Amino acid sequence: MDTTACEEHVYMAKLSEQAERYEEMVEFMEKVFDTEEHRGGTKPALRRVQERHRRSPCVVVDNIVD
C-alpha cells in the first residue's frame, strides 16, 4: 500500500470515528496495520491499539496518528 492509500485509510477511520461507526473505523485501521505489519513488525503496536479499543473506541485513531 502506498502512502496515499495509507493516509486515505487513516482519514476514513477518523471519519468513521466521528460518525460513531466504530466497527468500520477498526476495519480501516486494520488495513493500515496489515500493510505495516508485513513491512517490519508493528504487531505490538496493533496489540496496544486493540487494547485501547476495548477500553474506549473513541481514542483509537488519536493514539495511532499521534
Per domain, the residue ranges of the chain are 3-65
What is the chain's mean pLDDT, rounded? 72
- Please check the confidence at residue 15 and state whether its pLDDT lies above 90: yes
Least confident of 9-13, 38-42, 46-50: 38-42
Tell me the angle at which helices 43-55 and 22-40 cross, rounded to the nearest 10 degrees. 160
Q: Mean pLDDT across the stretch 6-17? A: 89
Q: Is the pLDDT of residue 29 over 60?
A: yes
| pLDDT the model gives residue 33 | 78
Cα angle 39-8-19, degrees, rounded to a multiple of 5: 125
Give pTM, 2 decimals: 0.52
3-state DSSP assignment of residue 53: helix
Query: Residue 37: CB partners within 8 Å, gap ≥ 6?
Result: 43, 46
Question: What share of the chain has pLDDT > 90, as a percent?
Answer: 23
